[in-house]
């Protein structure tokens, strides 16, 4: 495991996706007595919202198949990809603590507007901009140098698409602010395509959904201590 990122040094850059099994509206990449790794589609809530139309969600679907399953973290409704769940309260507590200590490592992929050029080329770069709640437009977030909390995102270019003026990027949030990746990319002038909250109108209408996917997850199993790495194939 590399100290800087938590990812295995032997892990190839494009490792094959895990074989998945779909049942009851849930795609499960891994299940054992203590944890579940699920693949959430875009448009599905992680937990129930307010109102009868927002009761269908990933956690309830999972609980129908694995009674007692508990949510550990969330993805935005518009974001697709990997979600980790616990099978009992003690495992939920352990995993929650691991998230707090930044011991669970996540990588995302996104397609953004424009040509995003890293400095230096082809290597990881960072966006270091403080994020605060936009109280007048909740739940939106803004960049605020005075009131914002420290927020750091690592990113690198995977591919440029000059014919359509977009860039595919890999992202690793080093802090866990609400909407962090979406806010950071919009702030540097490269909003994620399909982002209804932070993209300008032109970038918003270029995709039928938010083109942001939680593609990789790496962490220490709370029971066995084994280092686990999971991946989800890109749906766009």
Active site (catalytic) residues: 76
Rg of the chain, C-alpha, whole Å: 18
Q: Are 156 and 97 in contact (CB under 8 A)?
A: no
What is the three-class DSSP state of 186?
A: helix
Q: Tell which residue, 21, 111, 127, has the closest CA to residue 66.
A: 21
Scan for tokens 């508990």, then name that residue: 70
Residues in the chain: 236
Q: Which two tokens stand for residue 114?
A: 């424009």
The neighbouring-strand residues paired with 85 are 36, 71
Q: Which two tokens stand for residue 24?
A: 């009851």
Residues 6+ apart with CB under 8 A from 162: 115
76 burial (CB, 10 Å; 0-12 / 13-18 / 19+) is buried
User: How far apart, in whole angstroms, are the C-alpha atoms of residue 46 and residue 75?
Assistant: 7
Residues 6+ apart with CB under 8 A from 105: 5, 6, 7, 172, 216, 217, 218, 219
């Amino acid at each position: 495991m590399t100290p800087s990122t938590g990812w295995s040094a032997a892990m190839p850059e494009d490792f094959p996706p895990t074989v998945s099994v779909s049942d009851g509206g849930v795609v499960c990449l891994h299940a054992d007595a203590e944890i579940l790794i699920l693949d959430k589609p875009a448009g599905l809530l992680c937990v129930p919202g307010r109102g009868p139309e927002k009761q269908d969600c990933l956690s309830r679907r999972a609980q129908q198949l694995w009674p007692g399953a508990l949510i550990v973290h969330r993805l935005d409704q518009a974001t697709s990809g990997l979600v980790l769940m616990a099978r009992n309260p003690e495992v939920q507590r352990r995993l929650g603590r691991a998230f707090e200590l930044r011991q669970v490592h996540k990588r995302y992929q996104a397609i953004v507007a424009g040509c995003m050029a890293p400095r230096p080329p082809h290597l990881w770069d960072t966006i270091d901009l403080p994020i605060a709640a936009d109280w007048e437009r909740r739940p939106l977030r803004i960049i605020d140098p005075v009131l914002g909390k420290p927020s750091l995102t690592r990113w690198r270019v995977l591919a440029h698409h000059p014919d359509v003026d977009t860039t595919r990027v890999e992202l690793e949030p080093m802090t866990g602010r609400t909407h962090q990746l979406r806010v950071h990319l919009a702030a540097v002038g490269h909003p994620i395509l399909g982002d209804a909250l932070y993209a300008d109108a032109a970038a918003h209408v270029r995709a039928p959904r938010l083109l942001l996917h939680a593609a990789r997850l790496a962490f220490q199993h709370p029971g066995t201590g084994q280092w686990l790495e999971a991946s989800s194939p890109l749906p766009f």
